Amino acid sequence: MSMQWKPDQSKMVLTLHPETNNIQVVVDPGLPSAWTRQPYHGQLRLLSKSNMPKGHLVVVFVNELATLILPDQDVQLGSLTREQVVSVTHEVGPNGGVYEVKIFNRRTTADGQTLEMASASRHPVRAMA
């Protein structure tokens, strides 16, 4: 990790979610825009581009508000809890691609874990610069 990513400079900490292996970026609430500055935002986008094909997402948290970093855009997820799971599928169609973003509530029942969809949204893939 370069010096610029040290938490006292970057004002954020990167961790792995213990179950999904998603990259979680926890931003210092005293500087909520820290993740949008360069070189951080560009490097987070590169992390998204290289990890999404492996099924791992990059999610930024400022307090409980979450933003999903996709290879070509940022998607506001709103308030997200540890019991919720984010899923992204990339669909290719005749008019280009679409990301389908789903948020599931994870509930533990007597016979095991179940997921129920809390929300879904679709985002057209944007042309890369």
One-letter amino acid at 5 equals W
One-letter amino acid at 31 equals L
Question: Is 92 within a domain?
Answer: yes
Question: Is 51 within a domain?
Answer: yes
**Which residue has better confidence, 23 or 112?**
23
- Give pLDDT tens digits for 59-70: 999 999 999 999
Question: Is 129 within a domain?
Answer: no
Place of tokens 């508000």: 65
Whether the pLDDT of residue 108 is over 90: the answer is no
Total number of domains in the chain:
1
Distance CA 107, CA 19 (A): 14
Collect all residues with Cβ–Cβ distance below 8 Å to 6 and sequence separation of at least 6: none
Q: Which residues pair with 76 in a beta bridge?
A: 67
Question: Is 114 within a domain?
Answer: yes
Q: Which domain holds residue 86?
A: 3-124
- Average pLDDT for 37-60: 95
Q: Please, what is the average pLDDT of the chain?
A: 89
Question: Is 86 within a domain?
Answer: yes
Q: How confident is the model at residue 1 (pLDDT cuts 50, 70, 90)?
A: low
- Give pLDDT tens digits for 69-90: 999 999 999 999 877 889 999 9
